[in-house]
Structure 1
């Protein structure tokens, strides 16, 4: 399907949108629509996101997280330290094995969402595709309001075929809570499409 005419955003942006109240949704879409072109230097969590991937992919020692802190802008260090603690708490007493998560995208009627998971992990033998979410401090994330993002992950198109059934997951780094959903019904799909349509409507109005 040709997505060249579609609005294209990332899953973290879509998730943040779904967590906002009505008026805040408009401000959120405006911010996304008129933001400057992406540059790694302005990606607040990029260094930690990359380090988490490298830690698992290259089977590094946990000291790699401590060694990361001095390379982070001093203003960001408290948030990085907290997120690292939460991630290590999440990993506590879990056996993890890396596998390539591949790339994925969700394609709606007028909206395309980049939905690639950062992590492919066997956690105590159970396979998970994990999308990292770092903004749970500002927006309350719970099982109910993260549902649309989980359905989106389930209904995305993937460039890899796995020979095992994976759990589609979102990890909220603010409270090390892993949200998992593998089943959905027609009402849940309608709710997801409604969120996507609302995003497009606001985008076209501002």
Structure 2
């Protein structure tokens, strides 16, 4: 089995009934990640590089204005939210950790995009760029718990967070109960059973 992205697995967990089988079939049907089908790939890479180089987020606006019109409005909405998030908040870049993590027999890619020192506290941040589906509480809790489980041993003292980029809202760890572990283990086992049988 190829590694499953954190986002893809969370999407599976939040499905109910037969749509879960569809998610697994789609995953099984694609051999490797295809950047051409990743709507936000260009923006994600630009955002990371902008934070890494210490450039203002607003500098992305002129670039986003020149992308294909199908992406332009979405990209500009994300940049507006990121500007709101940064505001006057002092931050300093560090390289975030990445981990290939096995959960319930399935290999997960856990790749947070941003490492930011914010007010003296290191934050490891997963970007959420979409508006559909929205970043609701249960999705946030699942992402945070996977980040914590996969990365806390190698990143002690860090705060794990999900950034709802369009709203400029940071959701930090501490709000994801450890009881979610049982759910994640069960869902990973279910994913593997479906993968092996469909």
Give the TM-score normalised by structure 1. 0.83
- Per the alignment, residue 43 of structure 1 pairs with 38
Shifted more, 66-75 versus 86-95: the winner is: 66-75
The aligned length equals 197
Paired residue for 2:149? 155
Asked if structure 1 preserves the Cα contact closer than 8 Å seen for 2:161 and 2:173, the reply is yes
Given that 1:65 and 1:84 are in contact with CA atoms closer than 8 Å, whether structure 2 keeps it comes out as yes
- Closer, same or farther in 2 for the Cα pair 1:145/1:56, shift >3 Å? closer
Change (3 A) 1:85 1:157: closer
1:190 maps to 2:182: yes
> 5+ unaligned residues in a row in structure 1: which ranges?
1-5
Shift in CA distance, 7/201, structure 1 to aligned 2, threshold 3 Å: farther
User: 8 Å contact 1:20–1:139 — kept in the other structure?
Assistant: no
SS at match of 2:112: coil
Shift of 1:8: 1.4
State the distance in 1 between where 2:31 and 2:81 align: 31
Match of 2:135 in 1: 141
Which residue of 10, 29, 39 maps to 2:5?
10
Q: Deviation of residue 95 (structure 1)?
A: 1.2
Q: How does 1:78-97 map to 2 (within 5 A)?
A: 78-97=73-92
Question: 1: CA distance between counterparts of 2:95 and 2:39?
Answer: 24
Within the alignment, does 1:169 sit opposite 2:161 as a pair?
yes
Unaligned residue ranges in structure 2 (runs of 5+): none
Aligned to 1:3: none
Partners of 1:63 and 1:24 lie apart in 2 by 39
Asked whether 1:105 is paired with 2:100, we answer yes
Deviation at 1:124, TM superposition (A): 2.4
- Does the aligned pair in 2 maintain the 1:7–1:110 contact within 8 Å? no
Query: Quick check: 1:178 aligned with 2:170?
Result: yes
Give SS of 1:129's match.
strand
Q: Does 1:128 align with 2:114?
A: no
- 3-state SS of the aligned residue for 2:138? coil
**1 or 2, which has the higher helix percentage?**
2
Cα distance 1:32–1:108, how it changes in 2: closer, same or farther (>3 A)?
Answer: same
